[in-house]
Amino acid sequence: MEIREEIKKSIEDALKKIKVKKYPEILLERPKEREHGDFSTNIAFSLTKELKKPPQEIAKRLVKRLEVCPKIIEKVEEAKGFINFFLTEELLFENLIQILKREKNYGRSEIGKGERIQIEMVSVNPTGPLHVGHGRGAAFADTLANILEVMGYQVEREYYINDIGTQMENLGKSLRVRYLELLGEKVQFPEHGYQGEYLIEMARRLKDREGDKHRKEKIEFFIQYASSDIIEGIRKDLKDFGIRIDTWKRESDFHKEGKVKEVLKNLKKKGYLYEREGALWFRSSQFGDEKDRVIKKKDGSLTYLASDIAYHEDKFKRNFDHLIDIWGADHHGYVERIRAAVSALGYSKETLDIILYQLVKLSRSGKPVAMSTRRGEFVTLREVMDEIGKDTSRFFFCMRASNSQLDFDLELAKKESPENPVYYVEYAHARISSIFKKAKEKKTPKDPDKSGPTGQVKRKKIQEIDLKLLHTPEEKSILRLLLLFPDVVASCARSYQVHSIPNYLMELASEFHSFYNKHRVLSEEENLIQARLALVEGVRIVLYNGLKLLGIEAPEKM
RNA sequence: GCGCCUGUAGCUCAGUCUGGAUAGAGCAUCGGAUUUCUAAUCCGACGGUCGCAGGUUCGAAUCCUGCCGGGCGCGCCA
């Protein structure tokens, strides 16, 4: 990152020298072709209009005036109007040393400056177990949170529980019916009831434990029983899926504490509420929403919007620097009304970002798996975890951009074959660990420092290792890729995306496997062994750090 | 009907924000590689009118408009 800044600055200096004052932001991209260098800029193209010269000419003039630090840049060239920069070996070696020194901290940065970010994640209604789609949201949110933490933000992960309202009523009614059915009564199933198998099982557990003593119990009992049972299940699912939740907020608390009433009063005072057709409306259309929204129904009960507004106001009052809501795409109709509410309450829209993730299309060996929440037919996160495993599932969930649908083939994910990218990355890590194990065995008692695992590489004083011995194309490729890792993480943090991490790891694993096939680490030549051990240790550290961001274990052997 | 997301190789997708070099991977298919650190690996080949049509531009997968296909949502359900 410092390197990019350094190059940018030198370009700016050169621009000044040729007396160009106005220019767009200088973009450094990573060229597709190796011959085009490590970084390149198209700045000359953007100046053609102003200077009325062809890009080649502008680029040539710039190159002539460019003064770059020779420790970083070995060569600068003009090619078809582009300016290409080639990094020095020295820099690549220095970076490897940094990786070995910083280990788990390689890739970290202080860009976040300790700013506080609150992430609202998962927040599924406790009316049933988490399903695959929620798993994607959870894996995505958790990974993004990890990335932001590594970038120096203080992240608070929060789950908001809608534990009251119509849906809870329906849940309670449904459980009651299932319970009474088990006691042999014939009862009409509620119209909007939850038909899932899990409620029948829940009823059975209740009956097995406590018999028929709840036969005459009021609906509140069943709501209470069902929701706490489900919430416990959700907590356990998330925990086993490696998702950390720092704070659990309950909708009912906002009511109890009078915060919902308070926020309504506030909105009313500002003139953003009005009555029509017996209901109370929020004037959200005034803030960019398509239409106004009901906030209190004709029957006097409040909609979820009311408490959601109170919840968001509560977030603002807790003084976070940024707020991020991560929702399933099926909630996108909700985005504008929440943003409207934020504006209406007088808070900055910029502080709140709402990220939507698209749904998961589940299949098995290419055949789609039908899902319907209404009929209670869905594949739960628990089932996926049991069948596929936490790590593989998390990798798949984070592999695709969040705003495109995710195809998830259960059979493919389960396969331990080349079709499955997860093993490919893990295998690279395991192979490296295995090299170190071997190296340790080779160690002779007379000369314990000659070769060995990480500890030995470090003890031997990294500076003494002759990294210049790493000169093959495969080794160079790896060194260049390692240099990119901090950039990849930073770019994820900027764009609130995570899929570049798995993609990067696959690329790094691929470069490593190529190297491994062509060259031997534990060769005859002691200095070369040391240099290569340092190199693969660098790869191992980066693979480890990347997998860690995804919440995945890095296996020592497979 | 309206709104959001999406359409790139046989399949799954990067690349689109910030327009640039012959459009990249993986899988599948075909052909090869291991007496040596894990073959869950490697090397090579094949494969694309970037949904379609216009427009802007020296230059468009990328920006604009229209159309077509897929997903999701659409006033007192969440």
**DSSP code at position A71:** T
Torsion of CA A490, A496, A497, A500, to 10 degrees: 0
pLDDT digits (tens, 9 = 90+) for A104-126: 999 999 999 999 999 999 999 99
Is A460:A102 a contact under the CB 8 Å cutoff?
no
A335 nearest nucleotide via C1' and CA? B4
Longest dimension (CA), chain A: 91
Last residue of a domain, one of A23, A57, A87: A87
State the complex-level ipTM. Answer: 0.94
Residue at A226 is within a domain? yes
Residue A534 sits in the same domain as residue A447 = yes
Is A399 within a domain? no
What's the count of helices (H) and strands (E) in chain A, helices before strands?
21, 14
Same domain, A518 and A443: yes
- What is the domain extent for residue A98? 92-107+418-549
The reported pLDDT for the residue numbered A53 is 81
Query: Residue A226 in contact with residue A175, Cβ under 8 Å?
Result: yes
Q: Is residue A558 part of a domain?
A: no
Under DSSP, the state recorded for A268 is H
Closest protein residue to B43 (Cα–C1'): A514
Are residue A422 and residue A545 in the same domain, yes or no? yes
The answer to the question of residue A450 being in a domain is yes
Are A530 and A460 part of one and the same domain?
Answer: yes
Place of tokens 């078809």: A80
Q: Which of A87, A121, A150 is at the close of a domain?
A: A87
Say whether both A63 and A97 belong to one domain.
Answer: no
Instruction: For residue A116, give the 3-state DSSP assignment.
Output: strand
Between residue 248 and residue 287 of chain A, the positions with Cβ below 7 Å from nucleic chain B are: 277-279
**Does A438 reside within a domain?**
yes
pLDDT tens for residues A373-422? 556 677 899 999 999 999 999 999 999 999 988 988 888 888 776 678 89
Q: Which of A179, A122, A178 is nearest to A145 (CA)?
A: A122
Q: Rounded distance, CA A473 to CA A529, Å?
A: 17
Lookup: nucleotide whose C1' is closest to A513 CA? B41
Kindly state whether residues A96 and A181 are assigned to the same domain.
Answer: no
Shared domain for A12 and A79, answered yes or no, is yes
CATH of the domain at A545: 1.10.730.10
* Domain end call among A191, A216, A240: A240
Q: What is the pLDDT of residues A281-300, one digit of tens each?
A: 999 998 888 889 999 999 88
Q: Domain for residue A182, yes or no?
A: yes
* Angle of helix A335-344 versus helix A304-317 axis, rounded to 10: 50
- Encoded tokens for A8: 């940018």
Within this chain, do residues A80 and A174 fall inside the same structural domain, yes or no? no
Res A26: pLDDT: 84
Q: Are residues A7 and A97 in the same domain?
A: no
Looking at the structure, do residues A17 and A101 belong to the same domain, yes or no?
no
Does some domain include residue A357? no
- From the Cβ of A337, is strand B under 7 Å away? no
For residues A542 and A440, membership in a common domain is answered with: yes
Q: From residue A37, how far is each of A75, A319, A439 by CA, in Å? A: 9, 45, 35
Query: To the nearest whole percent, how much of chain A has pLDDT over 70?
Result: 95
Q: How many domains does chain A have?
A: 3
Domain-located, residue A269: no
Strand B contact at CB of residue A140, distance < 7 A: no
d(CA A107, CA A545): 8
Q: Provide the positions of strand B that have an atom within 7 A of a protein CB.
A: 2-7, 12-15, 17-18, 20-28, 33, 36-43, 58-59, 70-78
